[in-house]
Homo-oligomer: A and B are copies of this chain.
Amino acid sequence: MTQTTSHRTRLSPEQRREQLLDLGVRLLATRSLDELSIDLLAEEAGISRGLLYHYFGNKHDFHEAVVRRAADDLIEKTAPPVDGEPMARLLTSLAAYLDYVVDNHEGYLSLVKAAAGGNETLREIYEEARSSLNGRIFREDAQGTIIPETPATRLVVRGWSAMVEELVLSWVADPGPVTREELLEVMAASLPALVEVVPGQRPA
């Protein structure tokens, strides 16, 4: 299916890098990191193993590049924050995030899986992406108006975003009778609800 043409196909380094990274992200969605062997990827791409080493030094570096690409893609494609009142902005951010996961299920899955099971470097890449999202949602979208920043609330927001991730992934896998709007509303409303539960945080 790949490589119907004669013997070699010579691409520009940029094109080839793109191709290999994209393929990597796609393949990673349906298998774990260590099942993503150089052999498999080379075969799927229709190239020799040697070429992969030419572009990415070794397996680890390749994995890192794949994960980084998934993360960059997430950050880039997720809509930047808009203005408006805090809760509305929070909803908008969440919607952008949800839509991204729906549209790029594979890439997102790759990112999450690799990050959770991977080494320090991989987790950092993931954390970076998450911070970037949380940064938008927490610090820009909602803070100052909804949430005071204390160690306890920071912890809770961290927990909240883990919850959001789980909810989105679960919902995408099986929405059941829950609509997109209901999901968004639950996620958005959860944040203030959780903050209220923090001791010494209840306003009014």
Contacts and interface: CB of A to CB of B under 8 A. Distances in A.
Nearest to A191: B197
A118 B183 CA distance: 28
A166 interface: yes
A164 interface: yes
A122 to B, nearest CB: 8
B170 A199 contact: no
Interface in A167-202: 167, 170-171, 176-178, 182-183, 185-186, 189-190, 193-194, 196-199
Q: Which of A122, A152, A163 gathers the greatest number of chain B CB atoms within 10 Å? A: A163
B155 A176 contact: yes
A199 B176 contact: no
Contacts of A33: 34, 117
Q: How many copies does the complex hold?
A: 2
A198 to B, nearest CB: 6
A137 to B, nearest CB: 15
A176 B158 contact: no
Interface residues of A, number: 44
A62 to B, nearest CB: 14
A33 B183 CA distance: 34
Nearest to A161: B166
A52 to B, nearest CB: 18
Interface in A93-147: 112-119, 122
Interface of A: 31-35, 112-119, 122, 151-152, 155-156, 158-160, 162-167, 170-171, 176-178, 182-183, 185-186, 189-190, 193-194, 196-199
25 contacts: A32-B117, A32-B122, A34-B34, A35-B119, A112-B116, A113-B117, A114-B117, A115-B117, A116-B117, A151-B178, A155-B176, A155-B178, A156-B167, A158-B166, A158-B167, A159-B164, A159-B167, A159-B170, A163-B163, A163-B166, A186-B197, A189-B197, A190-B194, A190-B197, A193-B196
